Structure 1
Amino acid sequence: MKSLSIAFLLALSWVGVSPAASVSSSGRLKAEQVCAACHGPNGNSATDQFPRLAGQREAYLESALRAYRAGLRNDATMRPQAERLTDQEIADLAAYYGARTGLTTRRATWCGG
């Protein structure tokens, strides 16, 4: 079985496709089409109203989307979005956002003088 997996990965690399690239591109496409409207480009929301998804742990994102889909997490916007997602789409989105770089927010400090 191990040699079959290795042969499959080698075949994919030979044709120029990697499993990570296909997951990332699938997640990217869904993210750009649907999620970016609220969560911003690359998952870096411009407002505190919507969470930043970029840089979150992949397992956490998968768990959160599955919980929204199952109704275990309630949000009037996210539940209908998650209900439409397949297991593979959830995995692809989690992989995509997990691989992005999250922006940090810096608080402005006032220096008197």
Structure 2
Amino acid sequence: MRSTLIVAGLLALTPALAYADGDVAAGRKLALQCQACHGMDGIAKIPEAANLAGQSEVYLTSALNAYKSGERKNDMMSTIAPTLSDADIANAAAYYSAIEITAKVPPK
């Protein structure tokens, strides 16, 4: 029973590991193209853009792939995402997910 739980746990991690192959330095170079909307720091510079700093690499990869395929729609991202290679997507996700952020709970 214990070995079954360990195997199940490892299988649950497999999708996340598949996304963990991006290059942060290459992603930083790619982010130069993204900075007008998302900023080099991953904090949105325009109201229509998402904050990317500290987001999960799995989430960012999934979102970019959804924009690329047309499953997810946004005027700007639907134009940009189809031009990204799988490596570009992995690298951008690695870069933005590597940005450390802190959160503070507001006082009562």
Q: TM-score, normalised by structure 1?
A: 0.68
- Find the counterpart in structure 1 of residue 59 from structure 2: 60
Q: What residue ranges of structure 2 are gaps of 5+ in the alignment? A: 1-19
Q: Is the 8 A contact 1:55 1:101 kept in 2?
A: yes
* Closer/same/farther in 2, CA of residues 64 and 79 from structure 1, 3 Å limit: same
- Find the counterpart in structure 1 of residue 27 from structure 2: 27
How far apart are residue 41 of structure 1 and its match?
A: 2.2
Q: Is the 8 A contact 1:55 1:99 kept in 2?
A: yes
For the aligned residues, what is the CA RMSD?
Answer: 2.5
Q: Distance in 1 between matches of 2:31 and 2:73?
A: 21
How far apart are residue 101 of structure 1 and its match?
A: 2.1
Runs of 4+ that moved beyond 3 A: 102-107
Greater Rg over alpha carbons, structure: 1
* Closer/same/farther in 2, CA of residues 29 and 100 from structure 1, 3 Å limit: same
* Closer/same/farther in 2, CA of residues 47 and 102 from structure 1, 3 Å limit: farther
Q: Distance in 2 between matches of 1:99 and 1:61?
A: 12
Q: Which amino acid aligns with 1:93?
A: A
- Over the matched positions of the two proteins, sequence identity in percent amounts to 41
Higher relative contact order at CA 8 Å, sep ≥6: structure 1 or structure 2? 2
Q: Distance in 1 between matches of 2:36 and 2:102?
A: 17
- Find the counterpart in structure 1 of residue 3 from structure 2: none
Q: Distance in 2 between matches of 1:31 and 1:102?
A: 17
* Closer/same/farther in 2, CA of residues 65 and 46 from structure 1, 3 Å limit: same
Q: What residue ranges of structure 1 are gaps of 5+ in the alignment? A: 1-19, 108-113
How far apart are residue 48 of structure 1 and its match?
A: 3.5
**How many residue pairs get matched?**
88
Q: Deviations over 1:8-59 (max 9, x none)?
A: xxxxxxxxxxxx9x81110000002x11010112211244431110100000
Q: TM-score, normalised by structure 2?
A: 0.71
* Closer/same/farther in 2, CA of residues 105 and 30 from structure 1, 3 Å limit: farther
